[in-house]
Amino acid sequence: MDAFAVATDALFADQNIAVDAIWRAGGAGPGTAVRVVTRRPDQVIGFGDSRAVLPTLLINVRRSEVAEPASGDTVEFGGDLFEVIAAPVIDSVRLVWTCEGASPA
């Protein structure tokens, strides 16, 4: 295991950074217990001469826990359910997936 993997595991183990979650491939089944790190940055969208600020939810999950996340997967944590709504992106060292999430309609 290299230094990046050790550091990533330490971050996901930290109770102040990551939370326990249930990941369901395709949004079905009993799911798999994972640790996730969430971020909620605002996204600025331009409409002609106007701008709108929209809230977003980014969910980071280790590749060692979810090998191939996909749009339509769901993740549940803190009593809330979120659906992956876009193609996940892997980091440059291929350890962590970033998934955009939203509350299912």
Alpha-carbon span 2 to 25, nearest angstrom = 28
Label residue 1 by pLDDT band (50, 70, 90).
low
The domain segmentation of the chain, as residue ranges, is 3-102
Does residue 55 register a pLDDT over 70?
A: no
pLDDT of residue 48: 81
The domain made up of 3-102 is a member of CATH 2.40.10: yes
Residue environment code for 28-51, b if the CB has 16+ CB neighbours within 10 A, otherwise e: eeebeebbbbbeeeeeeeeeeeee
pLDDT in tens, 57-96: 999 999 999 999 999 999 999 999 999 999 999 999 999 9
Query: What's the residue count for the chain?
Result: 105
Residue environment code for 8-19, b if the CB has 16+ CB neighbours within 10 A, otherwise e: beebbeeeeebe
pLDDT in tens, 26-52: 999 999 999 999 998 777 777 788 877
Three state DSSP letters for 51-94 = EEEEECEEEEEECCCCCCCCCCCEEEECCEEEEECCCCEECCCC
Query: Which tokens hold the place of 51?
Result: 């701008």
Could you tell me the pTM of the whole model?
0.85
The better pLDDT of the pair 103, 21 is held by 21
